[in-house]
Amino acid sequence: MPVTRRRWGVVGRRALSKWRAIAPPVLAGLGVRVALIFWTGPRNLSLDEERFWALAGSRMEGTAFLPPLYPFFLAAVRGLTRDDLLAARLLTAVLSLTSIALVFLLAERHLGEDSGRAPAWIAALLPGLAFFDGRLRSESLVVLLLLLFAWLWSHPRRDAWAPPIAAGLALGLIVLARPELLLLPPALAILALYRGAVARSLSRAALLLPGILVLVLPAMVRSHRVSGVWAISDNGGYNLWKSFHPHSDGSQVGVMDFSIFDGVTEDRLDAIGLEAARTFVIEHPWRSLLLAPAKLGHLFGPERDLLSELRRKPIARDEAPAALVAALIQNAGWFILLAGGLFALLGPLRSPVKDLTLALLGTLVLVHLVFFGDGRFHMPLVPFLCIALPEAWDGSRRSAGAVRALTLGLATLGVAWCCIAARDLPLLAALWRG
């Protein structure tokens, strides 16, 4: 009995010490998120938020255009907050604090004990993450579920069957919000083949399937009943059309003429979009190929949602410098994190958390070589770069060729950022004028 008590005492002290380390970044993260919620007011909704809010109110009745998870999650939030927009934003911000704690815990799994503080603080204070955690958009929920999936998938007992089955359920939820992340298990399997741990890794990957199927199949049945498309949502053709369009620059910003869909019912959107995209690729094969790097430039490009939200509120002339400085800090932080995180991933350290990060990076790159890019689409990767970042300064060696390739890639991305910023100059000037 005394031995048992001592053991539980040690466990309790370790848990208390860990939570004492986690609490400061979590509380700081709460403060940053609440401040951004009030600063980016008034409490009206952006166009995307209006769509999600309306779909949550109707429980997506008669439509399968968007993936279903976030509208149903937001329906629960609306019920709890009695349709109060400010309360809904504050509630989602509080829920997102779990992500900061998971970043801490996953960093310790990847890098060892006492390695979670820096990643947790970065995740807490990073403006991009903080901004989306206070918006009624799906990015915050996807980030939280991905970190939960990583926590379950990287369970220390590699021979246990319960964690990967639970991870499959988490991944099923993720796919109901971001269907393209259904490619994550194949990416993990390919990485396992590369590592040489074939049998065990493939068997663990197979344990993901029950959880995925039990959630994804009902969503596909519902989508088919609504629009006749066997998919989680029926907007694939629509988004492919925006990705291969005469006015596309790799993002969706240049696509302004939607007359192709005038009078078209939802059950025809997918087929019409697919046919229009196929025709464009056949008629413009080289332009279609050249759009691929442009899409990646936008995927990893500037984060512009904060400025967009500030432009929606009446902003005084004397507030404009603060808004532009905030956007500059936000994007400087994102570029530094991207550069440092990718450099860290080149390091020799291997762990299940790092392999998952590489698989997620590869999945996003592969998807957005085809579909258009946007700054918010890289948000699922951001907390994993925070987790990896300390390896950038641990003194480990990287091959000269890999470092040169990374440097060239970042320089090219920097040029893309300049082009995107040049296109946005009229919007920035309008914000400056107030």
Both structure tokens of 90: 């504050």
Q: Is 67:178 a contact under the CB 8 Å cutoff?
A: yes
Strand blocks (E) in 119-250: none
| pLDDT(150) > 60 | yes
pTM: 0.94
Q: Which residue has the tokens 């990705």?
A: 243
Q: Quote the pLDDT of residue 5.
A: 56
Taking CB atoms within 8 Å and a gap of at least 24, the contacts of 107-111 are: 107/353, 107/386, 107/387, 107/390, 109/154, 109/156, 109/351, 109/352, 109/353, 110/154, 110/349, 110/351, 110/353, 110/354, 110/387, 110/388, 111/349, 111/390, 111/391
In whole angstroms, give the CA distance from residue 198 to residue 133: 38
In whole angstroms, give the CA distance from residue 339 to residue 206: 34
- In percent, the amount of the chain with pLDDT more than 70 equals 92
Both structure tokens of 138: 């799906």
Q: Quote the pLDDT of residue 222.
A: 94
Look at residues 373, 228, 227, 233 and name the one whose alpha carbon lies nearest to residue 295. Answer: 373
Q: Is 66:84 a contact under the CB 8 Å cutoff?
A: no
Q: Quote the pLDDT of residue 68.
A: 95
In whole angstroms, give the CA distance from residue 243 to residue 251: 7
How crowded is the C-beta side of 8, counted as CA atoms within 13 Å? 4
Look at residues 69, 120, 121 and name the one whose alpha carbon lies nearest to residue 233. Answer: 69
Q: Which residue has the tokens 């005394």?
A: 2
Q: Quote the pLDDT of residue 387.
A: 97
Mean pLDDT rounded to a whole number for the chain:
89
Q: Quote the pLDDT of residue 199.
A: 65
Q: Quote the pLDDT of residue 190.
A: 86
pLDDT, tens digit, 9 for 90 and up, residues 292-324: 999 999 999 999 888 777 777 666 666 778 888
pLDDT mean over 284-288: 94
Domain boundaries, the chain: 2-433
Give residue 362's pLDDT band: very low, low, confident or very high (50, 70, 90): very high
pLDDT mean over 326-331: 90
Q: Quote the pLDDT of residue 41.
A: 73
Which residues touch 323 (CB under 8 Å, ≥6 apart)? Answer: 307, 310, 315, 431
pLDDT, tens digit, 9 for 90 and up, residues 124-134: 999 999 999 99
Q: Quote the pLDDT of residue 280.
A: 96
Q: Quote the pLDDT of residue 66.
A: 93
| pLDDT(178) > 60 | yes
Q: How many CB atoms lie under 10 A from the CB of residue 97?
A: 19
The helix/strand/coil state of 24 is helix
Q: Is 291:262 a contact under the CB 8 Å cutoff?
A: no
What is the 3-state composition of the chain as percent helix, strand, coil, each rounded to the nearest 5? 75, 0, 25
Sign of torsion over alpha carbons 81, 87, 91, 96 = positive
Both structure tokens of 361: 């990076």
pLDDT, tens digit, 9 for 90 and up, residues 213-240: 999 999 999 999 998 889 999 999 999 9
Give residue 193's pLDDT band: very low, low, confident or very high (50, 70, 90): confident
In whole angstroms, give the CA distance from residue 428 to residue 434: 10
| pLDDT(328) > 80 | yes
Bond preceding residue 127 cis, omega within 30 of 0: no
pLDDT, tens digit, 9 for 90 and up, residues 234-282: 999 999 999 999 989 999 887 888 889 988 888 898 999 999 999 999 9
